[in-house]
Chain A
Amino acid sequence: MTSPRHIATQLLFLLLPIGISLAVAAALVIAVGRDPLDVVDALWKGAFKDSRKLGGVVNFWIPLALVSIGLVVTFRAGLWNIGVEGQMMMGALFASWGAMFIPLEGALVPLLHLLLIVLAALGGMAWAFVVGALKIRLGVNEIFGGVALNALVNVLSIYLISGPWQPRIGGSAQGTEPFPKAALLPEFSASFPVNLFMIALVIAAFLTVLGLLNATRWGLNLKAVGVNMRSALLLGVATERTSMSAFLVCGALAGIAGSYRVLFTFDNLRPLASGGIGFLGLLVVLLLSIRLLWVPLIAFAFAAILTGSTRLQIAPSLKLDASLAGVLQGMLVLFVILFQGAREVFFPGTLPDEQQASTPPPKRREGEMK
């Protein structure tokens, strides 16, 4: 099945949605009276001009890759963890609490960092547990539970920032005081400001989840629950526990992602510190139809677009809103999904054998929207 013609079709169905998204984005840019080539130039320079910019890309990539890996797990179980954004934020809150109130210094700093990351994971898991319990035990659809919990943690963080945790001087809703130096995750170097430990953690999480999904009974159970809850139950899978475990794994990774935002990117707790990265993670995973293998790469591409977009506002020839990045990313995912459908429906012969039989994930079960 790897004839040249086959490869050409594969490539066509990969490039067509990308090409169309770029064309529509270009049309939008022209419509507001700017030059698309200037946009490309700004995005590229904003992301890759020097090693500092590249560091910025990596700093978006770390949390984005973490949440995306977690979301592969929940999607496998057929769950829509839109609450991932709030789970990030809860991780950020827990890590912030630790950073402000755990007095470890000097030789104990590595221990402190470890504690903070564990705290953040626990925070994310706690919030994921609520979504999971609402869904599994109490029948509240996880999409709405997640949306509400996202909003609740945002209210909580604004309360903390403007109340108990407000800076001693000039308290406002902008953010807490910068955390003590000891709590902040160290930079690799001034010219490449990233945290190596976290990069290692992303790689470790990726490999672990890859192994768990493909080589363990748990991975199989997840898939069974995701494809058909009822037959999984009949086959003896503990469906409730499996679904909950998916939420908890995703929550832990999201919490750690949130901690990176406050302990490295910002150095303090701010409202909306999660910055939409959780939602972006959902897009990454949807783009890949829940295939984990390509997550790090696509997350990197999305992180680059996001980092580059900050330059759209400041480049003198552009002065464009940075939301263009989101438009581009959203269209990419939309057109990829639509073209997959068009291919299955109109050109089923062009699909690789193993995909011809399967229907596209994630699946909804009948009558589930409640």
Chain B
Amino acid sequence: MNPEFLNTLGSIIGTATPLVIASLGETITERAGVVNLSLDGSLALAAVTGFAAAWTAQEAGIFDVPAQIAVGIAAAMLVGALIALLVAFSSIKLRRDQVAVGFVLTLLAADLARFLGADYTRIPGPQITRWSIPLLEELPILGPVLFRQNLLVYFSYFLMFAIWFWFFRSRGGLTLRAIGERPQAAYARGARVQRLRYWYTFLGGALVGLAGAAYSLNVKPGWSSPPAMQGDGWIALAIVIFGGWHPFRVVLGAYLFAALRAVSSNIQTNGLFLFGQEINFPFVLLNALPWLLMIVTLLIVSGGLTERLLQYMPRAVQRRLRAFLRSDPPKALGTRFEME
């Protein structure tokens, strides 16, 4: 295969990684029944915190680069986890609406990021560097696409499989799904619903924080205002729905969005050629594509539209197609659980 094409695929995998990690984090949170709507702001605040922490470590000069990165990542994960905990606390303990608190935190965290980031705008800092996996990188096709990346990307692969295993192959995962689907029943069987919800929200939030650091330390190095990842939090939230709260499908969704974005930005810089003919149209309109894709995917997975179209399909494929296209949220998502 054309090596240039493989490199492009590789770079799509790389740039999609923050989106992958954030969507997987939110998948965990939502599986437990909590919606953390604050993603768009959390990512920004985690990104700027991660960058500022890594940069400060660099200026202090007491660490080597990997340690600086580690400091930045730890700080970013802490920020993401704390914001998520706040959502969980306000819902579980204070009985507030998760969506309201999440939305306020989205705006608050974004503004806080701008305010605190003002002194860190457009300065160079430590960056995560590529580390190809020996042997695996020599594999035909797969090597250049999957294994000439950085550690965060490899971690995202691992995360996807680990989450899948936990969700569907472990006892803990069964409980996790139960507290998101039927918390009363889970409680009756001895699950500590509230405590588990705190833990999973915390974990999901920490992953969102890691995704924030993945932007500022790798994909979009540094910090600028308005932040480079603005809007990605919303896309990640939509990807979770598109992915039907299943780790594999969520990751697929994230790669799809990243691929679309790569194609549209490539056309905007290089123009569009079909059969040797240059095709001209206002390329700025291509920026609409990810958002159109968001609406279309949500239409397909959650809408009555699919149901209506399915009626026209042969009966034999109906059920399979429905299972493939539709995605239903955890039944207790966004609701409170009261012990009685």
Q: Could you mark each residue 251-262 of chain B with 1 if its beta carbon is under 8 Å from any beta carbon of chain A, else 0?
A: 000000000000
Report which of B96, B108, B288 forms a contact with A327, defined as CB distance below 8 A: B108
Q: Mark B231-243, 1 if CB is under 8 A from A, else 0.
A: 1001001100100
A137 to B294, CA, bound (A): 17
B179 within 8 A of A: no
Q: Once the chains are docked, how many angstroms separate the CA of A54 from the CA of B303? A: 48
- Chain A nearest CB: distance from B185 CB in Å? 15
Q: Is A198 an interface residue (CB 8 A)?
A: no
Q: Chain B 19-32, CB within 8 Å of chain A: the 1/0 string?
A: 00000000000100
Report the bound CA distance from A67 to B223 in whole Å. 32
In the complex, A331 has a CB within 8 A of chain B: yes
Is B112 a contact partner of A147 (Cβ separation < 8 A)? no
**B234 and A147 contacting across the interface, CB-CB below 8 Å:** yes
Asked whether A360 lies within 8 Å of B97 as measured between CB atoms, the reply is: yes
Contact with B along A337-365 (1 / 0, CB 8 A): 11011101100000000000001111110
Interface of B is mostly: helix
Question: Which residues of chain B come closer than 8 Å to A366, judged between CB atoms?
Answer: 331-332, 335
Could you say which of B98-106, B170-178, B210-218, B312-320 contacts chain A?
Answer: B98-106
CA distance in complex: A286, B291 (Å): 27
Most buried by B among A82, A361, A364: A364
Contacts of B110 in A (CB 8 A): 326
A144 within 8 A of B: yes
* Complex partner residue of A326 from B108, B288, B335, CB under 8 angstroms: B108
Q: Which residue of B lies closest to A364 (CB)?
A: B334
Q: What is the CB-to-nearest-CB distance from A22 to chain B, in angstroms, rounded to a whole number?
A: 15
Q: Is the CB of A40 closer than 8 A to any CB of chain B?
A: no
- Residues 303-351 (chain A) with a chain B CB within 8 angstroms: 320-321, 323-327, 330-331, 333-334, 337-338, 340-342, 344-345
Partner of B108 from the list A137, A139, A331 (CB cut-off 8 Å) is A331
Chain B count of residues within 8 A CB distance of the other chain: 55
- Complex: chain B residue closest to A140, CB-CB: B298
* A282 surroundings in chain B (CB, below 8 A): 103
Stretch of B2-10, B122-130, B156-164, B279-287 on the interface side:
B279-287
Q: Find chain B residues with CB under 8 A from A148 CB.
A: 234, 238, 291-292, 294-295
Report which of B100, B288, B303 forms a contact with A362, defined as CB distance below 8 A.
B100
Is B96 in contact with A283, judged by CB distance below 8 angstroms? no
B143 at interface by CB-CB < 8 Å = no
> Is A134 a contact of B107 with CB atoms below 8 Å?
no
Contact (Cβ within 8 A) B99 A80: yes
* Cα–Cα, bound, A286→B335 (Å): 19
Contact call B234/A341, Cβ cutoff below 8 A: no
Q: Is A180 an interface residue (CB 8 A)?
A: no
Tell me if B99 and A143 are in contact (CB < 8 A).
Answer: yes
B96 to A, closest residue via Cβ: A341
Q: Is B64 an interface residue (CB 8 A)?
A: no
Secondary structure call for the A interface: helix
In the complex, per-residue mask of B202-234: 1 if CB is within 8 Å of any chain A CB, else 0: 000000000000000000000001000001001
Of the candidates A344, A363, A367, the one whose C-beta lies within 8 Å of that of B97 is: A363
- Interface check A295, CB cutoff 8 A: no
| Per-position binary interface string of chain B over residues 183-201, scored 1 when its CB falls under 8 Å from any chain A CB and 0 otherwise | 0000000000000000000
Known: A337-B101, A338-B96. A159 touches B282 (CB 8 A): yes
Q: Are A32 and B100 in contact (CB under 8 A)?
A: no
Q: Could you say which of A28, A141, A155, A340 contacts B298, with CB atoms under 8 Å apart?
A: A141
Contact A321 B115 (CB under 8 A): yes
Q: Give the residue name and chain of the A residue nearest to B35 (CB).
A: A369
Residues of A within 8 A of B292 (CB): 148, 152
Q: For the complex, what is the distance from the CA of A326 to the CA of B113, rounded to whole Å?
A: 11
Can you sample 24 A-B contacts with CB below 8 Å? A32-B115, A32-B116, A80-B103, A82-B103, A144-B295, A148-B294, A148-B295, A158-B284, A158-B287, A159-B282, A321-B115, A338-B101, A345-B93, A359-B95, A360-B95, A362-B99, A362-B100, A363-B97, A366-B331, A366-B332, A367-B331, A368-B334, A369-B30, A370-B241
**Residue ranges of A at the interface with B (Cβ–Cβ < 8 Å):** 28, 32, 80, 82, 134, 137-141, 143-145, 147-149, 151-152, 155-156, 158-159, 162-163, 279, 282-283, 286, 320-321, 323-327, 330-331, 333-334, 337-338, 340-342, 344-345, 359-364, 366-370
Further pairs besides A321-B118, A334-B101: 5, Cβ < 8 Å: A159-B284, A320-B118, A323-B118, A325-B111, A362-B100
